[in-house]
Structure 1
Amino acid sequence: MLDGDKQSSQMGEEQKAIIERAAKGDGTVSRADYEQAWANYRKCIVDRGWTDPTLKHLDGLYAAPPIDVEGLSDAQQHKLDEDLQYCSITYVTDLDQLYRTQVANPGLSSANYQLIVDCLKKNGVVGKDYTSDQLQDDLGDKLDLSDPAVQTCLVKYGYSANDARDESAYWKPLG
C-alpha cells in the first residue's frame, strides 16, 4: 500500500506512520491507532467546513454514515464529494482496510460474499442452507438492512449497510 501508487502518494503522514508502525511490529494495526485514524478523518471533515459526521459503529468497526444531501447545491455536493474523498484517502482508507481484514478476515479469504453468508448464519439471520448466490440476489432489497446483525456482517466485509428508511442515521453535512 505504500508502493508509490497514486492513492498512497495522497495518503497522509499520520496514516502512513500507523501502517509503517504495524509493518515494523507484529503486522497488526492497534485499536488505538484505528480510533485515532477515524478521529482524524472526522476532524478533517469539520476543518473543511462541514458538520461532524456521526460514524456508524458496528461490532468494533467504523463506517461513514449515509449522507442527506437535501438542500445542498450542485457546487456544495461537488465540494462535499471532493472533501470526503480527500479526508478518506488521507486518513483512513488503507488503514481501515487493513484493520477490517485483521479483525474480520484474518484468513485472508477473497470470498467476501461467502464471508458475509457465514456471518449471517452465525448471527441467526439466515438458515443453514443460505448461499452466496442468494445473498447477491437479496442485497438489492430483500435483506433487512434495519437489522443490526445484517449491518454488522456487511460492514465487517467492506459493504455499505445503510437502511434508507432510517432517516435519523443520515448525516446532514450543513447541520
Structure 2
Amino acid sequence: MYKKRRGLIRICALAFAVLAVGIFSACGGDNADAAKGASTVSSSIAGPAEKAAPSITARIEFLLDDAQQHPGSVSEQQQDILRRALDHDGVIPRGDYDAAWSRYQDCVVAKGYTKPVVEEFVDGLRSPLWHATSEGWSEEQHEKFIEDNGNCKQLEYLYVDEIYRANLGNPNQYTDMDTAVVDCLRRKNLVSNQYTLTQFKQEDAQYNDVATKNFATDRYDDSGEAASKFSFDLNDPATVTCFIANGKDYYFREDTSPIWNPLNTPTP
C-alpha cells in the first residue's frame, strides 16, 4: 500500500462527483419518514449529517431531471439505465454498469486517446481515480484532455457510476465520505455499532502518519504497519468495497496498478 512511483504525473478526478448536487439535511427533505430514519442512523455516527438525497431513488430522479435540463450532456443510454434502476429500488445491475463504462471508453477513444484503464475491485467496482501519465504534454494538450475526458464521463458513465457505488457503499447518501465509510463498515458488521466517526478519524490519522513516514524514507509499508492502526481488517474485501465505493482507493494503490497513457507518449 501507499507505494511510491517515480517519473509519473497523476491526473486524478473523482468519478462520482457531479456538476450539480442537491444537498438535503438528514432531518429534512421531501420524504419525512425516510429523513426521520436517516436522522437516527446518522446521529449515532456523527450527528445530523448532510445527504445528497433522502434516498438513492430520490437521487436518481434528481440526476434524470438534471439531464433533462441540460440536453446532450447525458446520453440516452445512460438515462435509460437510471430509469430502469428506478423500477428496481435504485439498483443498477453489473451488466449495465459495465456497459456504461465501455461506452465511456469508446467515447474517449473516438476523441483520439487510448482506452482508459483504472483499477478494478470487488463487484467490478472501478477506482474513482485515474492513474495517468502526462509526461511531455503541452499545457494545451493537458487542458484539452481534461475537457474531453470529463465530457465523455459525463455523457456515458458519471451518473451510473455514482448510483452503482452508492448501492455498494453509501445507500444513505451521505455527502461526507468518512461518514459514509463508517456507516458502511457498521452495516456490513465489520465494526461494532459503537464504532464512531471520531474513532475512524483517529485511526485514519495514525494510518497516514505511518504511511507518510514510510513513504518519505523509502521504507514501504509491505508489512502492513500502517494498516494495523485500524481496529478492523483493512484488507477484508467488504472493507475494500466500503472504501472504494466512497472514493478512498489510495489505501489500496500498488505499483502493479494500471497506468493510463492517454496520448501513448514515450515514458522514461
The TM tier, using the shorter chain, reads: 0.7 to 0.9
Matched to 1:52, the amino acid is: K
Match of 1:23 in 2: 86
- Change in Cα spacing, 1:11 to 1:131, as seen in structure 2 (3 Å) is same
Give, in angstroms, the shift of residue 94 of structure 1. 1.0
Determine if contact 2:109/2:115 at 8 Å carries over to the other structure.
yes
Structure 1, unpaired ranges of 5+:
none
SS of 2:120 mapped into structure 1: strand
The two structures have a TM-score, normalised by structure 2, of 0.52
* Pairing 1:98–2:160 present: no
Which stretch of the first structure deviates more once superposed, 37-46 or 146-155?
146-155
- Change in Cα spacing, 1:152 to 1:169, as seen in structure 2 (3 Å) is farther
- Change in Cα spacing, 1:32 to 1:165, as seen in structure 2 (3 Å) is closer
Match of 1:134 in 2: 202
Determine if contact 1:66/1:162 at 8 Å carries over to the other structure.
no
- Change in Cα spacing, 1:19 to 1:79, as seen in structure 2 (3 Å) is same
**CA-to-aligned-CA distance 1:4-59 (integer Å, 9 cap, x gap):** 36885411111011111222344321111011000111111111111112221111
SS of 1:71 mapped into structure 2: coil
Give, in angstroms, the shift of residue 168 of structure 1. 5.3
Give, in angstroms, the shift of residue 97 of structure 1. 0.9
- Change in Cα spacing, 1:39 to 1:142, as seen in structure 2 (3 Å) is farther
SS of 2:98 mapped into structure 1: helix
- What is the CA–CA distance in structure 2 between the aligned matches of 1:59 and 1:68, rounded to whole Å? 25
- What is the CA–CA distance in structure 2 between the aligned matches of 1:32 and 1:39, rounded to whole Å? 11
- What is the CA–CA distance in structure 1 between the aligned matches of 2:138 and 2:251, rounded to whole Å? 23
Determine if contact 1:68/1:173 at 8 Å carries over to the other structure.
yes
Matched to 1:28, the amino acid is: V
Which of the numbers 73, 88, 112 marks the counterpart of 2:177? Answer: 112
Larger radius of gyration: 2
* Pairing 1:36–2:99 present: yes
**CA-to-aligned-CA distance 1:44-92 (integer Å, 9 cap, x gap):** 1111111112221111201253111111111110111001110110111
Match of 2:250 in 1: 161
SS of 1:169 mapped into structure 2: coil
Match of 2:262 in 1: 173
Which of the numbers 17, 39, 45 marks the counterpart of 2:108? Answer: 45
Match of 1:72 in 2: 137
Matched to 2:150, the amino acid is: Q
SS of 2:64 mapped into structure 1: coil
* Pairing 1:62–2:126 present: yes
- What is the CA–CA distance in structure 2 between the aligned matches of 1:169 and 1:115, rounded to whole Å? 27
Give, in angstroms, the shift of residue 101 of structure 1. 1.0
- What is the CA–CA distance in structure 2 between the aligned matches of 1:113 and 1:105, rounded to whole Å? 11
Matched to 1:20, the amino acid is: R
Matched to 1:24, the amino acid is: D
SS of 1:122 mapped into structure 2: coil
Matched to 1:133, the amino acid is: K
What percent identity do the matched residue pairs reach?
28
**CA-to-aligned-CA distance 1:82-138 (integer Å, 9 cap, x gap):** 011101101111111111111223344555314435649939xxxx78823226646
Determine if contact 2:169/2:242 at 8 Å carries over to the other structure.
no
